[in-house]
Structure 1
Amino acid sequence: MPTDRSDRTDHPTEDDARALLARAAATIDVDDSAPMMLTGLPEPRHRRWPVLAAAAAVVLAIGGGLLVAQQLGGDDTVPAPTAESDGPSDVAGPPTDDVLPSLLGYTEEEAIELLQDRGNPISVHVAPDGCNAAGIVTGTRPAGGALAPPGEPVTITVVGEQQVVDCVGEPPWDRIWGVVRSAQGLDVAPAELDGIEVGSDVRDALVQMLAEEQSGRPRVMARWTYDDARCGGHVPGFDRLEIWVGDSAQECPSTSVFLHFGDDGRLIAVETGEITERQLGAGLNRLSSATQFIAWARGDGPAPDFADRVRVMFLGGGAFGHTGWTDRPEDRTSYAGCSGLGFPDCALDPVALLVRHVVPVAPAAGRSQCADGGQVPQRFADASADVVRLESSSSAHCQQWAVELWIDEEGEIYGVNQAGSH
């Protein structure tokens, strides 16, 4: 069996790969019958944000739940550390030949040939999907990028044939796989994908806006979620630095966009969809302000961006010791609702809640599902898109309290409500 892979095209640069993915996204037809009004975000504009369009081009949700990722080529990385190294690193990486490459988009035959050349025993897992492209590899175990030296078994997951009635509403898999294969250096880009460019600064700008997970991988996710009541989905949230974009009125199932970046800064993208710069920007702004609010409340950072005058609510209403408004929102002592006790001793104080409860707190979109925030004034009830709740990051440890923030799309906090009375 031949081992020479010289007939394949060279791997494109990251910009080339992202441009190809963006072009693919432009060819995806969206079902007009599926409403795409987004809760938690402003009305969409008609232009795409290029990197999100790029991510939208790669969808790999096989069998209703398997997500697999494509790591795109290129040498650009996240911004380099400012400190200069005094010499070469003492930490040696694994041998390049021992790292399993991404086989996403390969045909079963191509993947088997490559693994045989590497000396890896092979198992094939078939995932039937009558609307997808039979014979395409959608994932491996271990995943691409993991160590798999010669002799290490590798399982590939391959799309299998399946009889279906129709595939209305399915992604255009032929176009998607065409772009994935071109990004892998297996095929040339489909001719109809010309015309869209991706700015090289977008990825770095996104990375700089995000904190890092413990793994060191900056990550952002934007998703149109299932409606909780009708679809049995979960509550939208900002879990693990993910931006959730929920649509409470959308029919099921919904489409999604996921973006995250690997350790070397290269883009990894899964699932299809489309989201605009304005939409993602609003989510990022709200997440950033909410995260900063937590640090500020606990005395660990500067104040977030507040409106000149902020509405202060206690279970949706007023309190005997507070006017219901603060003209000094940057002052942590201006939120106490007690006539005698002040910050941080007053039990009616949404800011003091975060001081008294020293537990990990995660921002999440929408009003609290754990604590009763009461009936807020109509203006705030009508602005459900702006609500971000702050409560324990562990859903298994509901503590019957939360802080609800109203944050506009620019990240300005204009309302604060205490949910629960602890």
Structure 2
Amino acid sequence: MTAEDAALRRTARRLALQFAAVIAMIIALVGIIAYGLVSVSVAEAIDRSLSISGQDLRGDEAPADTWVITVRDGRTESSKTLPAGLPDTTALNEARSAAGPVDTTVSADGHSYAVRTRVDGDILVQVAIDQRESDEELTRLAWSLVGAGAVGVAVAALGGYLLSSRAMRPLTEALARQRRFVADASHELRTPLTLLSTRVQLLRRRINTDASPDRLHAEADAVVADTAALTSILEDLLIAADDRPAAVSAVDVAAIAGEVVTAARAEADAAGIALTLDAPESVHVAAGEAPLRRVLFSLIANALDHARSSVTVIITEEARTVRIRVADDGQGFRDGDRPFERFASNRSPGTGPAHYGLGLALVADVISRYGGSVRVVTELPGGVVEASLPRP
């Protein structure tokens, strides 16, 4: 896991927790309001039942959970057997002197009764309603709200994590590209800048010492070559750092390969390496011309760096793809090599001249951008890199 991925996950977790906390507060507020409204509704329903049942002095029509008690001339009557705790004698005594109904609550044997006591002429009427069912409904409602809230918070946390990760990934990728560009630039430009500075100092000394024109021309040519190398490096860096959608067109990879091989042949001849191209007369791929040229240059430059005596570029056509294979007769790739990661290859250079491009890391970036793939062919001797690109 890269540092960018770790930072992305930490930030996404923090945002998800914050989002979940906000959702939890909203759910809690909504739950409290819902529970309060239902509680008020239940209380109003019980109040209506007490009022209606109080009109039936005999209690014949009272529901199963309702008791109507009358007290006349000291005699207590009820249409049903009274449970423990009823009648509420304290409320009966209070009602005799009260100006209106007396509402009380009686708890006995695990039951809670809403009790209303009033005076009707010379009769004391007491109505009691068992609230256990209502209390159980409210309890179930509370637990349902808690459970639904917990599920909602968990879903919100997961959704927040996924959404924040997706939303932040472009920023993280941009930061990674920026860091990669800075690392590439500092790594790749250090050596050629040092060489260029050294050549300029030598050129100045020879001018001061009246060196021969031929030697001055040679040093000036070397400065021009180093400048061209720096320009090439900058082109590599810009291609690697470019995150814009790749412009795709039908590009003749055989023609471009011929041009690159021709340009690199002088360098190969100077190193005593035979550079050959085996390709059809014309074959097209869906890519960009400039990036594809840099890919071929990097593949050939990498092969020349490690070859002993020969480098071969082979281009073959398939039904949907075109394969570009660049092979050298060097020692090849060893187990544990990571040639397509920046600065990770452990392959020892050969006797050829050094190059300062981004190498196979650039190749992997560009090829993947155009929907292709690149791999090291370890089944063959030497160092063999094969890139595949889709046909237009």
- What's the TM-score, normalizing by structure 2? 0.24
Higher relative contact order (CA 8 A, sep 6+): 1
- What's the TM-score, normalizing by structure 1? 0.23
Structure of higher CA gyration radius: 2
